[in-house]
Amino acid sequence: MIIDTSAILAIFFKEKNCAWVADQMKAHASELKMSTVSLTETLILLQDRQPKLFSKLEEQILCSGIRFITPDVEQARIAAKARIKFPLNLGDCFVYALAVQENSPILTLDKDFNVLTHEILFPLS
């Protein structure tokens, strides 16, 4: 399962649907993956929104058991095609590319992913 930035931030900031995200992460604990592009985006937002807690939050995510995947050339190609085809930002294009390459669903709270023809785990709320 590929984790989008929106899902991980929901947990850290106790946003709506954070319990659902936590349940999904527990259910798929052995298969959690995140693009290092998404990790970068997450770390930027954590540092921006919680500067005093940043070191603790950074350690939590890095020690969470999520496998961080560095983009390769094939992911770059998939991401570029996705950016042309779908209204996704750069980070989301790499989430999509990793999901395609790994043949894995995406765990997200980002409604921009609704346009995809890929398996998306999204709360029904």
Q: Which of 92, 100, 103 is nearest to 75 (CA)?
A: 100
Residue 10 clears pLDDT 70, i.e. is over it: yes
What pLDDT is attached to residue 117? Answer: 56
pLDDT score of 34 = 98
- pTM comes to 0.89
Report the chain's mean pLDDT, rounded to a whole number: 91
* pLDDT tens per residue across span 32-88: 999 999 999 999 999 999 999 999 999 999 999 999 999 999 999 999 999 999 888
Mark 72-111 as b/e (b = at least 16 C-beta within 10 Å). Answer: eeebeebbeebbeebebeebbbbbbbbbbbeebbbbbbbe
What's the confidence (pLDDT) of residue 16?
86
At residue 23, the pLDDT reads: 93
Mean pLDDT of the 14-30 span: 93
pLDDT score of 120 more than 80: no
Total count of domains within the chain: 1
CA distance 41 to 20: 22
Domain that holds residue 40: 2-121
Distance CA 95, CA 88 (A): 10
pLDDT at 114: 73
In this prediction, residue 123 carries a pLDDT of 65
CATH (domain of 90): 3.40.50.1010
